[in-house]
């Protein structure tokens, strides 16, 4: 047996146990239920009302386009197969509704207005992080056509989740965007009361502390290894964190400060890439933003259907 210690599962790492496994297990099963229920409101709103202006009128409402694109994203379908998939239940139940064709879906995705749907109650313990998503760019296309190595394109998805793991904020940026600068915008723009902001050492900046101070929130961010109190004017909250880490050690500070919440957003990215995928399929920049936002809505909806209740147990 090897004497090396595990870095992934160190001895001091807290272990958890799911206490509602029967309900959670059935919820995971319901996530794959293909039952489609179409309300009368959805039927009435499938086609938009006339605008009263000159020119061609839209044949499908934003809700209809969002429904089709959500199905495409959830089941990993090309646009043409999405059109056929959505037409099938309409035929089976005898519903006389037209289905958006693939060209309409591609065109309307760029201008679709989608809002992030979540149920937040009470002050939010915000946990933020980012992860890369690959995109299909011109470089990869040229490489596939002519041979050679194409330059892979990347986008960066920034997520903010609450203490339960529900996505309450998101933004899609270029791959070279600064995490801390984007985190400042997430903290500033999130609606509702923010109790705390938790993130990894990449967010150990004066801007994060200032954004949290303006929201009346505590900051739980480990300082970088070479951190010092800094030159005046100093950030009092960061100075206290740096001194606490120096006095008690980084491991104890993480345990006493509640830094374990940072694992919530890491789990969310794992669910995103396991369920949705690690790549963006849309070609346009605006359509990619819409795709990422709808993916977050899918994950939030799945989390409502099946949510584990975990408690810490002794090692």
DSSP string, 133-199: EEE--HHHHHHHHH-S-PPPEEEEEEEEE-TTS-EEEEEEEETT--HHHHHHHHHHH--S-EEEEE-
The answer, yes or no, to whether residue 140 has pLDDT greater than 60, is no
Question: What three-state secondary structure class fits 307?
Answer: coil
Residue with tokens 């313990």: 125
Domain ranges of the chain: 30-109, 124-280
Split at pLDDT 50, 70, 90, the class of 289 is: very high
**Adjacent-strand bridge partners of 132:** 156
The answer, yes or no, to whether residue 16 has pLDDT greater than 80, is no
Q: Is 71 exposed, middle or buried (0-12, 13-18, 19+ CB in 10 A)?
A: middle
Q: Measured between alpha carbons, how far is 102 from 108 in angstroms, rounded to an integer?
A: 10
pLDDT at position 127, please? 96
Dmax over CA atoms of the chain, in Å, equals 78
Mean pLDDT of 212-223: 94
pLDDT at position 45, please? 87
Mean pLDDT of the chain: 85
- For domain 124-280, which CATH number applies: 1.10.4160, 2.60.40, 3.30.70, 3.30.420? 3.30.420
The answer, yes or no, to whether residue 300 has pLDDT greater than 90, is yes
pLDDT at position 1, please? 47
pTM of the model: 0.85
Asked which of 71-75, 117-121, 211-215, 291-295 is least confident by mean pLDDT, the reply is 117-121
């Amino acid at each position: 047996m090897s004497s090396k210690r595990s870095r992934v599962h160190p001895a001091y790492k807290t272990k958890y146990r799911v206490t509602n496994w029967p309900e959670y297990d059935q919820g995971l099963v319901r996530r794959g239920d293909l039952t489609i229920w179409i309300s009368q409101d959805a039927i009435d709103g499938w086609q938009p009302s006339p605008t009263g202006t000159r020119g061609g009128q839209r044949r499908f409402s934003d809700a209809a386009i969002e429904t089709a694109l959500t199905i495409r994203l959830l089941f990993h379908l090309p646009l043409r197969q999405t059109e056929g998939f959505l037409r099938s239940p309409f035929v089976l139940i005898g519903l006389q509704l037209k289905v958006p064709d693939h060209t309409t879906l591609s065109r309307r995705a760029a201008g679709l207005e989608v809002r992030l749907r979540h149920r937040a109650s009470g002050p939010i313990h915000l946990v933020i992080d980012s992860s890369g998503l690959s995109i299909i760019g011109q470089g990869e296309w040229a490489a596939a056509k002519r041979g050679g190595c194409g330059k892979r394109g990347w986008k960066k998805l920034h997520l903010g989740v609450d203490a339960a793991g529900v996505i309450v904020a998101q933004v899609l940026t270029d791959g070279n965007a600064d995490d801390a600068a984007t985190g400042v915008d997430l903290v500033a723009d999130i609606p509702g009361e923010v109790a705390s902001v938790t993130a990894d050492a990449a967010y150990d900046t004066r801007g994060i502390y200032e954004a949290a101070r303006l929201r009346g929130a505590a900051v739980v961010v480990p300082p970088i290894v070479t951190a010092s109190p800094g030159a005046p004017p100093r950030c009092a909250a960061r100075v206290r964190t740096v001194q606490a880490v120096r006095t008690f050690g980084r491991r104890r500070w993480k345990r006493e400060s509640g830094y374990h919440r940072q694992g919530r957003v890491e789990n969310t990215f794992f669910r995103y890439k396991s369920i949705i995928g690690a790549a963006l399929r849309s070609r346009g920049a605006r359509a990619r933003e819409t795709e990422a936002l709808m993916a977050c809505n899918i994950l939030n909806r799945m989390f409502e259907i099946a949510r584990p209740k975990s408690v810490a147990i002794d090692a």
